[in-house]
Structure 1
Amino acid sequence: MSRQLLAMALAPLLGLFILGIGNGFLATLITLRLDAAGESALVIGWVSSAYFIGLALGALFNDRLLLRIGHIRAYGCFASLVAVTVLLQGLWLDPTSWFVLRLIGGWATVGVYLVIESWLLTSAETRVRGRLLALYMISLYAAGVAGQLLLGVTDALGEAAPFMVVGMLASLSVLPMAVIPRVSPLIEHAEPLSPLRLIVITPTGVMGCFGSGLAVAAIYTLLPLYLQRTGMTVADIGQMMAVVVLGGMLLQYPIGRWSDRHDRQLVLILIGAATAVISLALLLLPLVTWMQVALLFLLGGGVFALYPVAVSHAADRAPAGALVRMSQGLLLINAVGSTLSPSLITPVMTAVGDGGLFWSIGALGLGLVGFFAWRRSVRPAPQPVAPFASTPPQTVVGAELNVTEELVQGAIEHEHQEDLSGVVPDVAVAEPNEAYREPNDVSA
């Protein structure tokens, strides 16, 4: 990677890392504070859902604001909103107020991701996007691990200290973006494929992305609640959550490469089965610390790998012209799953106890196994058209980072081998770079 490209990508990646440290433990912190205040699991679930509702709404509409005011000013607005909502949460604890603040915070957070991803997308040619995406993922997951480890340190400083730290980090993340004397090209609005069309094209991809949203949101928002009610300290909970995120980061690529060499539907079936088995083991076995750490590491690896493998499977079926819009649609399906997850699982936890979290994740895993096995019997998976690329859930703009030249070429070759005229619509989609234009005036 050239020095020029690295210099272009350094500002957004550094901003992402700084903000991501605070955002990495905020969901855990909110869950623990609500539980310590005596709020029910149902209330905690609704407050947690507010964040994901904000993410989904922002993914649909924030690009319009970016078009109007540009990248740097938009980043400053979104990051400031994140800081304000978090600091307000530190002033008083009220579930209704926190619901509204988390919704606004989710809307602003996805706006930050939109700016960063669109900046990266326009920073270089298609041939280096894979490396940019790798840097993006390293920054995102490294910040998540660091944030969870920082939770215990900040919590020991006082009740308001963690919220102050998150607010300061959100404000500091503006600096790398503001000091760069350049505005990246503006983006144009693009509509994703509708859910019904996605179901027709790739039922397995849709169900995999939806199930991933359910599982990942449950891990981030409800696993800390379960761990706290087992008697762990805040510092211990942060360490366990860091283990989960680390498992997702380290196991995602090996599982993905495995899916390149085998039927991706079979890999999805095995991921679902492993998720169910691990969940039941965490629930039923008399665990010692090292065993719990190992199982949580594996659970994170399976849950976090579900989304990129499902997206890769969907890409194997998509025509070249629909790749970007299909990725955007699957991302929104994932966001819907994340939104519903806390409010669906917390009633189970209320009815059967805290172990309802793992009963729910286990049941989800078994349900995915049954669905994927049925789809495999009805329509076997095609041969992978391009190498697996590790994929975190992103914004609808950042989804284009995954559309590499290899994937487009593979989709073109796949169209020549299989008649999709009755399955996939004639979708007109611009090539990734065509949705972006350099402004005449690039002054800040």
Structure 2
Amino acid sequence: MSRQLLLMALAPLMGLFILGIGNGFLATVITLRLDAAGESAVVIGWVSSAYFIGLALGAMLNDRLLLRIGHIRAYGSFASLVAVTVLLQGLVFEPWAWFVLRLIGGWATVGVYLVIESWLLVSGDAKVRGRLLALYMISLYAAGVLGQLLLGITEAMGGAASFMVIGLLASLSVLPMAMIPRVSPLLEKAEPLSPLRLITLTPTGVVGSFGSGLAVGATYSLLPLYLQRVGFAVDRVGQMMAVVVLGAMLLQYPVGRWSDRHDRQMVLIGISGFCVMIAVAVLWLPLSPWLLAGLLFLLGGGVFSLYPVAVGHAADRAPAGALVRMSQGLLLINAIGSALSPPLISPVMSVVGDTGLFWAFGTLGLALVGFFAWRRSVRPAPVPVARFSPTTPMSAVGAELSVTEEWMQGALEHERVEDLSGAVPDVEVAEPLVGPPPPDASHIVYYDDKEEGTSTETTMATEAARS
């Protein structure tokens, strides 16, 4: 990776890291504050789901604003809105108000991710896109771990200190983006495939993405509630949540290597069954804090690996022209699952007790095992078209970022082999699935924020020299 390209990617990655520190423990703070105020698990679940609803809405709508005002202005607008919603939560304590603020905050947060991911997407060609994605994920997960570790420190300050710190971090994240040369890349708009088309194209990918959303939403929103109610202090809750995020970061790569060497459907069955075993262990074993931490580390690795393996399986099935739109559609299905998770699982915790969370994890895992096993018996697994690519569900452009040149070439080869063998594809492609081809990596349109309504067309090498 060239020095110029690294400098271009440094500012958005720094902004992501700063914002991610605060965003990493905001959901935990909200859950713990509502529980301390005596709110029921159902109320906590609905307030938590508002954030994921905002994520889904933003993933569908925010690209229009970005196209209109440019990356740097959009980033400043979204990050400022995140700061405002968080600070208002420190001033106003009403569950209905927090629901609205979390909805707006989710919409604004995914806008921030949209700016960063689209910036990285067009900063380099396919040869370096995988490394940019790796840097993106390292920044995101490292910020999440650090944020959870800060939870105990900020909560010990009392009052609205946690919300003030998170708001300050959101505001500070604007600085790296505002201080770079005032040019930004062009974002191409592409609509995701409809859920019905996706179900026809890749049932396993759809169910895997939806199930992953249910599990991840419950992990972020309801696991802190479980930990506090079983007797952990606030700082220990943050440490346990940091262990979960650390497991998600460290175990994705080994799981990915496993999925490259074996049938991805079998890997999905294995991950789902593994999550069932973790849930059973938490429910029935006498747990010490260290044993629980180890189980949560493994749970984070399993839950967060479901989505990228499901997307990888879907890519093995998809026509080359549908890869980007398919990935975007699966991302939105994942966000819908995350939004539905707290309202669905929190009533179980109210009826069964705090352990209802792990009963829900176990039931979900069993359902996924049954579905994936049925799909494998109905249709043999495809040959992987490309190596595993770690994927984190954030925005529609993040889905496009993970569609590598290797995936495209593999899908094209898969289509060619099917044509020669006379096999019938899963779905008839009667019309083009994508719009105009993306701009060549060496020739990108940039918008200049200095003069509104004007644009300059230049090569990346010229812009690198200018910076």
Determine if the TM-score, normalized by the shorter chain, exceeds 0.5.
yes
Given the two structures, how large is their TM-score scaled by the length of structure 1?
A: 0.98
CA distance in 2, matches of 1:308, 1:291: 27
Secondary structure in 2 matching 1:50 = helix
Aligned to 1:126: 126
Residue 460 of structure 2 is matched in structure 1 by: none
Q: Which residue of 1 aligns with 2:41?
A: 41
Report the counterpart of residue 51 of structure 1 in structure 2: 51
1:364-397: CA deviation from partner (whole Å, max 9, x where unpaired): 0000000000000001110110000111112111
Residue 338 (structure 1) aligned with residue 330 (structure 2): no
Q: Give the superposition deviation at 1:24.
A: 0.1
The equivalent of 1:279 in structure 2 is 279
Take 2:335 and 2:248, find their aligned partners in 1: how far apart are those partners? 18
Q: After superposition, what is the alpha-carbon deviation per residue over 1:227-269, rounded to whole angstroms, capped at 9, x for unaligned? A: 0001110000000000000000000110011000000000000
How many angstroms does 1:53 deviate by? 0.5
Aligned to 1:235: 235
CA contact (8 A) 2:25 2:151 kept: yes
Match of 1:439 among 436, 440, 446: 446
CA distance in 2, matches of 1:322, 1:283: 42
RMSD of the TM alignment (CA)? Answer: 1.4
Partner residue in 2 for 1:427: 432
Please, which moves more after superposition, 366-375 or 387-396? 387-396
Q: Cα offset for 1:432?
A: 4.5
SS class of match (2:123): coil
1:353 aligns with 2:353: yes
1:99-118 alignment, distance < 5 Å: 99-118=99-118
The equivalences for 1:42-191 within 5 A come to 42-191=42-191
Give the distance between the partners of 2:239 and 2:432, measured in 1 at CA.
Answer: 46
Per-residue deviation, 1:300: 0.4
CA positional deviation for 1:442: 6.3
- Alignment-derived partner of residue 321 in structure 1: 321
Report the equivalent of 1:17. Answer: 17
Offset from partner CA, 1:257-301 (integer Å, 9 cap, x none): 100000000000010000011011111211012211110000000
User: 1:422, 1:44 → 2: CA distance?
Assistant: 41
Contact 2:184 2:447 in 1 (8 A): no
**Aligned counterparts of 1:160 and 1:168: Cα–Cα separation in 2:** 12
- For 1:360 and 1:427, locate their aligned partners in 2 and report how far apart those are by CA, in whole Å: 41
- 8 Å CA contact 1:86–1:167 kept in 2: the answer is yes
Query: Do the aligned residues in 2 keep the contact of 1:403 with 1:432 (CA within 8 Å)?
Result: no
Q: Against the structure 1 CA distance between its residues 161 and 406, is the aligned structure 2 distance closer, same or farther, given a 3 Å change threshold?
A: same
Letter in structure 1 aligned against 2:365:
G
Aligned partners of 1:47 and 1:99 also within 8 Å: yes
Pair 1:310 & 2:310 matched: yes
1:196 aligns with 196
Equivalent residues in 2 for 1:251-262 (5 A)?
251-262=251-262
Deviation at 1:79, TM superposition (A): 0.3
- Structure 2 unaligned blocks of 5 or more: 452-467
Contact between 1:42 and 1:347, CA under 8 Å: does it hold in 2?
Answer: yes
Alignment CA distance shift 1:422-1:330 (3 Å): closer
Could you tell me how far 1:93 is from its partner in structure 2? 1.2
Q: Does 1:391 align with 2:395?
A: no
Residues 406-440 of structure 1, C-alpha deviation per residue, up to 9 Å, x if partnerless? 11110011011224555142433244446995036
Q: Any conservation in 2 of the 1:243–1:293 contact (CA below 8 Å)?
A: yes
> What letter corresponds to residue 18 of structure 1 in structure 2?
I
Residues 45, 346 of structure 2: 8 Å contact kept: yes
Contact map agreement 2:59 2:110 (CA 8 A) in 1: yes
The size of the alignment, in residue pairs, is: 444
C-alpha distance in 2 between matches for 1:283 and 1:420: 46
Residue equivalent to 2:456: none
Q: Distance in 1 between matches of 2:397 and 2:296?
A: 32
Tell me the secondary structure at the aligned position of residue 257 of structure 1.
helix
